[in-house]
Structure 1
């Protein structure tokens, strides 16, 4: 199993510098966040050649900031879908085969989730159709449990995938998001068991995210939270052959977080190789 680092881990560095540091540290690869890429002055062709020369595996995370593909504001919705489709084009030009996309969310606390199902389906069909044309796969991320989110459980996304019915569209499984369903309600020793059950209810896992977390926070560096999700990764390795992207970053402390994450990754790899 290959472990990629989110480019956000080194968000304080220009993207090309971050890629070079990852290669020097012998990271398997990188999940590039589009917002990080937009700050980079190098051309996409230059970046692709640069990553090819260093042997970095790569995935892409579509834009998330101020983006909502189901916004009740028509202009924001249209622009959000446009930027997501643009991200697929960027992935194609960078030689990336898997892109993570956030589903839409409610625009107001007074909204009803049912009102957005058709909008969500239509947007995801457009995204999946574009991905199919480009020969890439999209993992729609199942989000954390919090107010306003529309896709927070396996069944929420499964229903959408069944309707869209495109092989290009699948799931991004975020282990820290899954944990939000159970933290504080079960014993810590039972948490991984519950997450594995959650994982087995997902369809077509095309990408995986992992970070540590605490009762208060969702995404933390691997060594700075309250949990160890290695048992989940052991179960995942029985059927999943894709990459796992490490999230959780601390602005201004990227190099130390990188070193800490690499220590955990080495431990995880050793444990997984003994299965």
Structure 2
């Protein structure tokens, strides 16, 4: 399997250091977060060249915090599109395999469905056109079923893809699948999946270290092992200890999904 690490697991480390860590722990790649690169004022071309030198593949998670391409507030909507185009430009500079990005969401509850649906389609088409110009492959993330999110189920994503009018790959986040539903069924129902985000989940919290939640990980990993797509270990850790990442690694090692060649 091609395990990647999310750079958000190593937030306090410079993105170039994250590539070094991925190499150290024998991962195939890194999903860089755009906000992480901006936070450290990292040079995209330096990261691209260093990753190639180290044999580490790159994907990019676009900016998503505070953004909403469906917002009723036109200023926020327009700026959100601009920020995602900026992420696409960054993805082009990094020469990533693909860029995962979040869909828009409702501004207030689920009011004005048609307005939000139209903006979601139009603005996604605009982003796809910009990505095509930059030779960047996009991947739309299926979101968790929480208030205001629009694309939360495979059937919603499939209908949306048809309305967009072009092939749009999908990132399936295992932690976003409700615990009472099957991640495998989600995987089977979705079309064009080109990326997996992997972490555990509990009734109280999305995105916890592998083995600390209630997801049936063993069966899921058996299925994922047959796929040739990046499997990105996710989470947020702002410390220098890399506790979240090390828990992921320990779980995968204990269950023989990876070989631990260095001490953690």
Change (3 A) 1:256 1:270: closer
Question: Structure 1 stretch 259-268 or stretch 132-141: which is displaced more?
Answer: 259-268
Question: How many angstroms does 1:32 deviate by?
Answer: 0.5
The residue that corresponds to 2:196 in the other structure is 208
The structural deviation recorded for 1:39 is 1.8
Instruction: Tell me if the contact between 1:12 and 1:254 (Cα under 8 Å) persists in the aligned partners.
Output: no
What's 2:141 paired with? 141
Offset of residue 254 of structure 1: 4.5
Superimposed CA distance per residue, residues 194-230 of structure 1 (whole angstroms, 9 cap, x where no aligned partner):
2211221111112111111111101112133233423
Going from structure 1 to structure 2, the CA distance change for 1:174 and 1:110 (only over 3 Å counts) comes to: closer
TM-score, normalised relative to structure 2: 0.90
- Which residue matches 2:252? 265
CA distance in 1, matches of 2:240, 2:13: 11
Partner residue of 1:229 out of 201, 217, 226: 217
2:262 matched residue in structure 1: none
For the aligned residue pairs, the C-alpha RMSD in angstroms reads 1.9
Equivalent pair of 2:200/2:213 in contact (CA under 8 Å): yes
Q: Which residue of the partner structure matches residue 108 of structure 1?
A: 108
Deviations 1:237-268 (A, max 9, x none): 44x31111111233326422222212233435
Residue 66 (structure 1) aligns with: 66
Structure 1 residues 142 and 229, CA, compared in 2 at 3 Å: closer, same or farther?
same
Instruction: Check the 8 A contact 2:18/2:30 in 1, yes or no.
Output: no
Q: State the 4+ residue runs in structure 1 displaced beyond 6 angstroms.
A: none
Gaps of at least 5 residues in structure 1 are none
Q: How many residues align?
A: 258
Which residue of structure 1 lines up, in the alignment, with residue 229 of structure 2? 242
Residues 18-61 of structure 1 show CA distances to partners (whole Å, capped at 9, x for unaligned) of 22222222222111011100022332111111111111111100
Gaps of 5+ in 2: 260-264
Displacement after TM superposition at 1:160 (Å): 1.5
**Secondary structure of 1:251's match?**
coil
Quote the Cα distance in structure 1 between the aligned partners of 2:60 and 2:42: 17
Q: Counterpart of 1:56? A: 56
* Superposition TM-score, scaled by structure 1 size: 0.87
Contact conserved, 2:57 with 2:97, CA < 8 A, in 1?
no
